[in-house]
Amino acid sequence: MIELPTVLIGNILIVYYSLSSFKRPRTHGFYRFFAWEIILIQFALNEATWFKESFAWHQWISWLLLLISIIFLIESIYLIKKIGKPATTFETTTKLVTIGIYKLIRHPMYELTP
């Protein structure tokens, strides 16, 4: 069963944070809106079954992978803020970050100079 309040509040938040992206449909923020909407729908559809078998082996694996991804998220935000030197917003950095997780993951169009 889809929880209507969850979906409604989630949609309001996603639309609020995406308002500026709607004015520029050729930016990645416009498409990011749809990605967040899909994540919200998946969350709402699976919310009821997440805690049915809380200690099943597949739930342990799921929680472990979630915690690992949160560690990577925290590290990447820290590196962007410390080394990337954000100009005005989080997404507009003035220096390319090439250490930490960004040593392994980067956009293929960036060229690294020695």
Instruction: For residue range 30-64, list pLDDT tens digits in order.
Output: 788 888 899 888 888 887 777 777 788 888 898 89
- Domains contained in the chain, number: 1
Range of the domain at 21: 4-79
In a domain, 42, yes or no: yes
In a domain, 86, yes or no: no
In a domain, 98, yes or no: no
For the beta carbon of residue 84, count every other beta carbon within 10 angstroms. Answer: 19
- Predicted local confidence at residue 107, as pLDDT: 62
Which residues contact residue 91 at a Cβ distance below 8 angstroms, ignoring those fewer than 6 apart? 29
In a domain, 60, yes or no: yes
In a domain, 22, yes or no: yes
pLDDT value at 17 more than 90: no
In a domain, 110, yes or no: no
Confidence of residue 98 (pLDDT cuts 50, 70, 90): confident
DSSP letter for 111, please.
Answer: P
The region that residue 113 occupies, defined by phi over 0 for left and psi between -120 and 50 for alpha, beta otherwise, is beta
The helix/strand/coil state of 93 is: strand
In a domain, 17, yes or no: yes
Rounding to the nearest 10 degrees, give the CA dihedral for residues 21, 27, 29, 31: 110
